[in-house]
Structure 1
């Protein structure tokens, strides 16, 4: 699936000496909110200074509050011209409003992400769902 492909690309990047970080998006937003509340946001952002590839997994599984959305938007805006970003999501871009709440922020984020993007679309049945269903029968 998407996560396995993203992980494999991250693993290969590490083998090639590319500094890589893998985050589930919901965990990253929790960390961002915690850093913001503790006035440690700049210190948290510095953790990514040397990182060249960031993998953000499961975008859209959990909707964010307004603050979480804005913090993630800021971070991706900082990164999008200087780092490589891989994002996995089950949602089409048109559905990202449900995650980010603010349509203008969503639009600006998608604009940045697709500016230099290669978009891979996976169609067909979910392997995990098919596997789970076959065990039930």
Structure 2
């Protein structure tokens, strides 16, 4: 393709036409243009999904296609597997809370739902809760808290992994509370925790703050409980030596 045509594609923001036009079959001018532009749209969509996945900062490649659903996952009466994977909770700005022992598949499910949300065009962010607390405290210390909170304006789903694995300082608890309060009915959260709500006092210093945090989380939430032991441990033990 000549440089003038490449420059025109660039001006028209046709990112892929210059790369793909030779591979598009030609039967008629109108067919060629339609097929060419369809391929451009398709490649744009693929690039967008990859960008969303990259920005989400998942810790691994886990997705729903290799998730092992089982009878040890207890759904609330008002929802089921199909409702959950349809991501209707994001459209309704509801939350999902996954509670159970370490290694029971909570993070895998949260990541899988988040990755599917990216594939459907949603802005997603994944954080270990301890990491988010550190970022909040750092932003506060450097007088950049407002700028940090502004980063979530266009985010539609936030995954907070491992709530309860590490206790927080009073300052960290308050910062997290403020952030979640801002997101209430504006965004959807997926939270994984090894502690039941009644035990969250272990991680939040102030019991009143704990109650104030839990209330908005569960108001519009689907709470799933994971029983049984660790899949990771059982899989490791079952492998031949």
Q: Cα distance, 1:130 vs. partner?
A: 2.2
Tell me the number of residue pairs that the alignment of Structure 1 and Structure 2 aligns.
Answer: 137
Q: 2:181 & 2:137 partners in 1: Cα distance?
A: 17
Matching residue of 1:17: 121
Unaligned runs of 5+ in 1: none
Q: Cα distance, 1:128 vs. partner?
A: 1.6
SS at match of 1:34: helix
Bigger-Rg structure (1/2) = 2
Candidates 183, 189, 199, aligned match of 1:79:
183
Candidates 129, 150, 154, aligned match of 1:46:
150
Q: 1:29-108 maps to which residues of 2 (within 5 A)?
A: 29-108=133-212
TM-score (norm 1): 0.96
Q: RMSD of the TM alignment (CA)?
A: 1.4
Q: 2:232 & 2:170 partners in 1: Cα distance?
A: 32
Which stretches of structure 1, 4 residues or longer, exceed 3 Å deviation after superposition?
A: 131-135
Unaligned runs of 5+ in 2: 1-104
Q: 1:36 & 1:107 partners in 2: Cα distance?
A: 24
Matching residue of 1:7: 111
Q: 1:117 & 1:79 partners in 2: Cα distance?
A: 13
Q: 2:202 & 2:236 partners in 1: Cα distance?
A: 27
